[in-house]
Amino acid sequence: MPWLLSFLDRTHFTVTALTATAILITRSAAVLYFGAGALACSLSVKLLKHGIRQPRPASQKQKKTYGMPSTHSATISYYATFLALACVYLPLHPSLPASTLVRALVPVVVLPCATLIALSRIWLGHHTWPQVAVGCTYGVGFAGVWFTLWVNWLQEHGRTAEGIFNSFFLSEG
């Protein structure tokens, strides 16, 4: 299974590319907001790391950054939590079929993948269990706050911004 660990060690490239693709294809304010949340989660965890300054576990290839909390675990937990909440509480994008199967399929695929990615940080020797657990907890909490901001306030502004964007950039004139 070394190929799997090698792939899991580089998932940040895959996840970033998929997010960028979703933003470009959908041209949706909600998807852009989701991507901005992933970036904000990642950057805020990196700031927190510099405050805590807990070293990573000793391994063959020592990274120069701190370990607590795990940025990968926080960010992938943000992804999984926000997507699961969106599937339950938000309308699906018009390009997707409006079905219960689509709503259920995303969390069924994303949650195990996120768990595997978070656990791989331990298996690869990049983080300890507590560093991953705190990262996951941070990501889940960040997603909850970010999602609540969207649903309770920013969603309406997002629709307005999306309409302006689409009329300006997608007009036939």
DSSP string, 102-121: HHHHHHHHHHHHHHHHHHHH
The reported pLDDT for the residue numbered 158 is 64
Report, as ranges of residue numbers, the positions in the chain whose pLDDT lies below 50: 173
Report whether 128 contacts 58 (CB < 8 A). Answer: no
Report whether 130 contacts 118 (CB < 8 A). Answer: no
The reported pLDDT for the residue numbered 54 is 77
The reported pLDDT for the residue numbered 40 is 94
Compute CA 125 distance to the chain's CA centroid, rounded to the nearest angstrom: 22
Residue ranges of domains in the chain: 2-169
Report whether 30 contacts 158 (CB < 8 A). Answer: yes
The reported pLDDT for the residue numbered 141 is 96
The reported pLDDT for the residue numbered 173 is 45
Spatial separation of the C-alpha atoms in residues 22 and 110, rounded to whole Å: 15
- Distant-in-sequence, close-in-space partners of 85: CB < 8 Å, separation ≥ 6: 143, 144, 147
| Distances 170 to 20, 28, 33, 93, 114 between C-alpha atoms, Å | 19, 13, 20, 18, 35
Spatial separation of the C-alpha atoms in residues 132 and 140, rounded to whole Å: 12
Model's pTM, two decimal places? 0.81
Report whether 54 contacts 74 (CB < 8 A). Answer: no
The reported pLDDT for the residue numbered 52 is 81
The reported pLDDT for the residue numbered 93 is 67
